[in-house]
Amino acid sequence: MAHRKEKEESTPSKEVLGEGVLRAMVECDSSVLSVYVLGRGGGVSSVMRSSQLPTEAQADQQTLQHLGTIGTVILGAAAKAEEIFGGTEFILGAFKNGKILLVKLPGYDTALAVRLTQSASTEDVYGKISEILAKG
């Protein structure tokens, strides 16, 4: 599997979630198309894409930053309900042509957006990513 990483800006979350960790996440399951590290204040600070994601299906930089900010807002809103439902493990967005898995990483002061194929087993992918993060 060939992968490429696009560097945007240097942030502490990039140092914690280095290229090797992001690559492991993309390679952990064939349904993972890309992994985005969401910046603390919104936007995207780092990207790792699978070779399975065609260039024409990739968001441009402006859209990517906008979607990163929306993901951060969604996770922030979910935190308001944690008193009732318990801690947020992940939030799933299901679309016609795929899924987006938002994962809060409190220990890292950042979050992930994981782009998946439509047929992905979200819970399985979440479990694999959790294992990768636990190994550090």
Question: What order do you get walking across the sheet with 3-7 strand by strand?
Answer: 3-7, 44-50, 32-38, 110-116, 98-105, 91-95
The HSE-up count of residue 7 (CA atoms within 13 Å, CB side) is 7
Q: What is the pLDDT of residues 43-74, one digit of tens each?
A: 899 999 999 999 999 999 999 999 999 999 99
Q: What is the pTM of this model?
A: 0.84
Class of the CATH domain delimited by 3-53+62-135? alpha beta
Residue whose pair of structure tokens reads 């935190």 in the numeric block:
79
Average pLDDT over residues 75-83: 90
What is the structure's pLDDT at 41?
Answer: 80
Give the DSSP letter of residue 53: S
Q: What is the mean pLDDT of residues 94-122?
A: 92
pLDDT on residue 16: 54
Is pLDDT of 78 > 70? yes
CB 37 within 8 A of CB 8: no
Domain boundaries, the chain: 3-53+62-135
- pLDDT of the residue at 110: 86
Q: What is the pLDDT of residue 25?
A: 97
87 has a pLDDT exceeding 60 = yes
* Nearest C-alpha neighbor of 12 from the set 105, 103, 91: 105
5-51 pLDDT, tens digit per residue, is 443 333 344 345 889 999 999 999 999 999 999 987 888 999 999 99
**Cα 3 to the center of its chain, rounded Å:** 15
